[in-house]
Structure 1
Amino acid sequence: MIAGVLRQFADYVEAGGWVMPPLVLCTLLLWFAIGYRFAALKRGSKRGVRNLLRRHEEKGRQPNNDGVLVRALARGTSIRDSRPNNLRALLDDAFSDEQQEIQRFNTLIMTIVLSAPLLGLLGTVVGMIETFDSLGDMSLFSQSGGIAGGISQALITTQMGLAVAIPGLIVNGMLHRKQKDIELELAQLKDMLCSDYRNNPTPCRINRP
């Protein structure tokens, strides 16, 4: 059964012409990047930032509990407890790694989403050129497929390009909204850590440009 499915897929790729291998590669890269972002955008807790901070103060970091906010909270409280004079700048620097992590592969996904329909359109143009060449030569059948092969290639590449782009656009839109929510929570966490520190005898000095 698996061999039959693979054979059908190979025939499908072959029918689409030379544009299909790049589209298949784009598909693999796209879903690898989406899977990576799913894992990277794990918060680590369902609690809000304020409740998460309070629980951390009471019980400390919980074992086997990983995620962006949990890691940032552990790092941020550790820096705060060292009582530096430039807490805000140190928090910005400490959280930058987490911010880069949650943004990783976003550009790659958007590039693939935008380029896949263009590759499909290129395959469509190639297929139509073959169709018109066959009409000009009055060859309904040829080694490359003639009219039927040209039309088939045009439709297959268009279909494949849209099949790659549309799900990728929808899923990445959801991931992008989640990324923005986490970025807001990281900013809120920094403000709360600085606010708590500011209420102590040693104030939190905020660097301003």
Structure 2
Amino acid sequence: MDFPEFILIIKQLLAAGGIVMPPLVLCILLLWYGLGYRFWVMKSPKSMSVRDLLKYYQQHDDKPAASIVAQAIKQGVRLQKKGVKNLRRHLDAAFYEYEREIGKFSVLVRIVIIISPLLGLLGTVIGMIETFDSLATMTLHSQSGGIAGGISQALFTTQMGLTVAIPGLLAHSMLNRKQQQIELDLAQVKDLLCHQIPNHHPTKSFSS
């Protein structure tokens, strides 16, 4: 399919959906941009547990981090090795950026999922109004499509609204569960790093 044919298809879709199609197309773009960004940020190719990751990066601090949890662990290990006071407070401040990053575009995606079916419903109402106007004037065909055009627009916009909302809702739910798991992992990292502090200060231990 070449570019002119693609443009023609887009024009036909916009014409079939009427006035609500441009905002629906915008919703599609915003939805999948937000979902794609969240998926990329929260990708986790490694299957190691948090404890194993922490042990790994304590021994190999120079290794690259493949996930956002690994990045947080590396930063936490560096703070731990520096021996900073009030490590928990420093970890909270450092991990806040990761927590904010995994939640980015979550509100936008949720708003788009809510708005899309409503836009489809609005298109349905507009299409049915056109249909009833055509019935009132007994015109099967008019400049805007008449009875057939009104019914077609009503069904098409409803379909488009649901097509945007249903996959978006499923993907959003999956990513929310992933976000909650990462937040739990980050909290576990904080606990493990703080509890390991005495092990890094042997000079303060008392000999028998």
Same fold? TM cut 0.5? yes
Aligned pairs for 1:26-41 (under 5 A) are 26-41=27-42
Structure 1 position 104 matched with structure 2 position 104: yes
Report what 1:127 is aligned to: 127
Q: RMSD value over aligned CA atoms?
A: 1.6
Q: SS of the counterpart of 2:187?
A: helix
Give 1:5 shift: 4.5
- Name which of structure 1's ranges 53-62 and 98-107 shifts more when overlaid on structure 2: 53-62
Q: SS of the counterpart of 2:196?
A: helix
Report what 2:72 is aligned to: 72
Report what 1:162 is aligned to: 162
Structure 1 position 21 matched with structure 2 position 27: no
TM-score, normalised to structure 2, is 0.91
Structure 1 position 10 matched with structure 2 position 11: yes
In 2, the alpha carbon distance for the partners of 1:32 and 1:85 equals: 41
CA-to-aligned-CA distance 1:49-72 (integer Å, 9 cap, x gap):
100111112222313x33211210
Aligned pairs for 1:114-193 (under 5 A) are 114-193=114-193
In 2, the alpha carbon distance for the partners of 1:101 and 1:61 equals: 23
Structure 2: 5+ residue stretches without partners? 203-208
> Percent identity at matched positions?
50
TM-score, normalised to structure 1, is 0.91
In 1, the alpha carbon distance for the partners of 2:5 and 2:60 equals: 56
Structure 1: 5+ residue stretches without partners? 203-209
Q: From the superposition, tell whether residues 44 and 12 of structure 1 become closer, same or farther in structure 2 (CA, over 3 Å).
A: closer
Give 1:136 shift: 0.9
Report what 2:196 is aligned to: 196
In 2, the alpha carbon distance for the partners of 1:12 and 1:120 equals: 14
In 2, the alpha carbon distance for the partners of 1:141 and 1:19 equals: 21
Structure 1 stretches of 4+ with a deviation exceeding 3 A read: 2-6, 198-202
Give 1:32 shift: 0.8
CA-to-aligned-CA distance 1:118-154 (integer Å, 9 cap, x gap):
0000000000011111111111111111111110110
Equivalent residue letter for 1:178: K
CA-to-aligned-CA distance 1:22-43 (integer Å, 9 cap, x gap):
0001101111111101111023
Q: SS of the counterpart of 1:113?
A: helix
Give 1:4 shift: 3.2
In 2, the alpha carbon distance for the partners of 1:77 and 1:54 equals: 10
Equivalent residue letter for 2:81: D
In 2, are the aligned partners of 1:43 and 1:70 still within 8 Å (CA)? Answer: no
Report what 2:91 is aligned to: 91
